[in-house]
Amino acid sequence: MGNFTAVVIDFETTGLSPGYGDRTIEVGAVLVSGNRIVDRFQSLMNPGMRVSGFIEEYTGITNTMLSTAPAIKEVMAQLKSFIGQHHLVAHNASFDSRFLDAEFKRIDHRRTNEFACSMLASRRLYPEAPNHRLETLVHYKKLKTDGVHHRALADAEMTAHLWLNMIADIKATYGVRDVPFKLMQQVTKVPKKGLHDFLLKKATQY
């Protein structure tokens, strides 16, 4: 078993809210198939505005680097192709989905792909973790990392490893044979107290 396929995505942006003018400055995405990463996509994007000193410091992405980067719309067209019809995963997916939808809208495209959130899943599966920031979870679960944080491709890869680790833990702990995207989506929505019984019940269905 293990035909799980999804694109794990991460954006670096000029701020927190596309509704107030913030734009994307970098995207990283990895195609996960079965239990491994099989393809990668990464690009900086010129947002047409200066990014703050905070963002330069937080991401290591400077205004100089962005001055020679391709326009956002060009990268979005490539990203649209990379994503295709795959399901999507992100850490705190509400954030990345808002930016993805806002930038897609600017190229007259509307997302139909479903999202699932690794943060919501980790809060249920690893309630004992110190916190549920991506960086903390990577260390807590001893996941593969190159030590880079707050860059899009590195964060997408770490999120992918976290996602695969959660799938493996569900299989090992509950004896669920296969963990499709739909089941992971349900994990992010089931009431926290009901997760244990929910997964025990699923062990007989998958």
Partner DNA sequence: TGCCAGGCCCTCTTTAGGGCCTT
x-or-dash pattern for DNA, window 153-182, by CB under 7 A?
--x---------------------------
- Buried b / exposed e over 87-122, threshold 16 CB at 10 Å, is bbbbbbbebbbbbbebbbeeeeeeeeeebbbbbbbb
Please say which residue, 13 or 165, places its beta carbon nearer to DNA. 13
Residue 84, amino acid: G
Q: Residue 4 interacts with DNA (CB under 7 A)?
A: no
Residue (74 or 101) nearer to DNA, CB: 101
Whole-number minimum distance, CB 142 to DNA, in Å? 17
Contact of 123 with 132, CB cutoff 8 Å: yes
Least distance to DNA from the beta carbon of 128, Å? 11
Total binding residues toward DNA, as defined by CB under 7 A: 34
Decide: is 92 part of the binding site for DNA (CB under 7 A): yes
Compute the half-sphere exposure of residue 12: CA atoms within 13 Å on the CB side of its CA.
Answer: 28
Interface pattern 136-155 for DNA (x via CB under 7 A): --------------x----x
Nearer CB in complex with DNA: 6/26: 26
Binding site for DNA (CB under 7 A): 10-13, 15-17, 19-22, 54-55, 58-59, 91-92, 94-95, 98, 119-120, 123-124, 131-135, 150, 155, 188-189, 192
